[in-house]
Amino acid sequence: MYLTEADFNFQSDNADLKDKAENIVNFTSSVLLDLSDEDIDAIKHVEDIFASLQDSLFSNSDTILRSERLGFTEDDRKKLDELQIILLDKWKEFGFTVSFFHRLYQIQRQMNDSELNANQKERLDLLFQILNEQKTLVIAFNVMSSKDSPVILDVDEYM
């Protein structure tokens, strides 16, 4: 696994995480440079669709977390949970795990914390960058593998 559990724990030094971020950015760039404009357009199109799904999933997750404060009934909460299951199933159809969703969601929401020190903010920014690069790689892999003559992308090392 590219990111380890330790990467998600705040440390006094972000050097290792900076190296990982630089490494995956360079790898993603080299992968995308080898693709045709048509392939890049297809990847961007899938990324746009995925971004809509991600926004819906994050929004629903926020609502679930606030549902008690908002006075939602048990039926309302059940509907939110059912929607969450549907959205997570769609998420998995893109080749992502529920664990990846939780990591991305937690990092994005933690980035909004106004009490973060500079080191914590930098660490969250780096994690977010790495997770987004991983997302791009998975989408690129899926797009390329769906073609009649798929291109082999060696992304295992970065996931």
pLDDT tens per residue across span 84-142 = 999 999 999 999 999 999 999 999 999 988 899 999 999 999 999 999 999 999 999 88
pLDDT at 152 over 60: no
Q: According to the model, what pLDDT value does residue 24 have? A: 93
pLDDT tens digits, 6-64: 778 777 889 999 999 999 999 999 999 989 999 999 999 999 999 999 999 999 999 99
pLDDT over threshold 80, residue 4: no
- pLDDT band of residue 158 (cuts 50, 70, 90) is very low
Long-range contacts from 23-31, C-beta under 8 angstroms, 24+ separation: 23/158, 24/130, 24/133, 24/134, 24/137, 24/158, 25/129, 25/133, 27/133, 27/137, 27/158, 28/133, 28/136, 28/137, 28/140, 28/158, 31/137, 31/140, 31/153, 31/155
> Which pLDDT score is estimated for 154?
52
Residue ranges covered by each domain of the chain: 37-145
